[in-house]
Amino acid sequence: MLFTKLKFSPNTVTLRLAALRFFYIHVLKKNGSLAETPYPKKVFRLPEIRSQEEVARLIDAAEFPFHRILLMTLYATGARRAEAARLKVSDIDSQRMVVHIRGGKGRKDRDVMLSPKLLEALRVYWRGLRRKPTNWLFPGNRWHTASCPVTTKVLWTACQRAAQRAGLEDKHIHPHTLRRCFATHLLEAGADLRTIQMLLGHRDLEETTIYLHLSRRHLSVTSSPLDALTIRGTEEQTQSA
């Protein structure tokens, strides 16, 4: 029924089945036929990556200055949206030029580079605040004066509205897209996978290797085996065509 009637994808069915298994086995303490039900084969899709030019268009199209600094922070640090939302003033270390990301996925802290361009933008943002925050770098409410951080929904909205204004609304851009762009563009610029793994806070290097599939640099330097063959008549066929 999940496939035929509700038209769920295999990955969604796997999540529903896992939840049902947990409920029946660990909550109801029943080991029925559900425990024997096989999981559907997982579908693997490569995430979409935007070019550096498109990322620049996205940031330039931010609806408000506050949205602009949020988008810049997401792309410059590769932070998850919850990590970016909960950055503190003390996490910006301009002496060492690093950003401390605390309590990330798996409750792990990590440091990422502080872009000079981001630092300058943060200083402009700071000077424009009505009340200088003492704790959260991006305080909540419309005047940015709350004692709690901005919600992750604000970062999502910032991406969606900027994508619409930049004419990229059909590209499915969201905060995690900027994290993927951060990693892929670093790889294309020559950074090694181990460094990217540390910057992203991945527990396993295997999680990071997906960016090899997304990097244009790695695809362009890898020749097709067809190019090494000498095939008779290829030049004649090309000329006649």
Domain ranges for the chain: 1-45, 52-217
Give the bridge partners for 98, in sequence order: 93, 113
Residue 105 is a catalytic residue: yes
Express as a percent the part of the chain with pLDDT over 70.
86
Considering the candidates 81, 110, 125, 211, report the single residue annotated as catalytic.
Answer: 211
Query: Helix H segments across 128-192?
Result: 152-165, 175-188
Residue 176 is a catalytic residue: yes
Residue 142 is a catalytic residue: no
Torsion (CA) 16, 18, 24, 28 in degrees, nearest 10 = -100
Tokens of 167: 């004419």
Considering the candidates 16, 42, 96, 105, report the single residue annotated as catalytic.
Answer: 105
Residue 179 is a catalytic residue: yes
* DSSP letter for each residue of 56-84: HHHHHT-SSHHHHHHHHHHHHH---HHHH
pLDDT in tens, 87-101: 999 999 999 999 999
Q: What is the mean pLDDT of residues 189-205?
A: 93
- Fold that domain 52-217 belongs to in CATH: hpI Integrase; Chain A (1.10.443)
Residue 21 is a catalytic residue: no
Residue 41 is a catalytic residue: no
pTM: 0.79
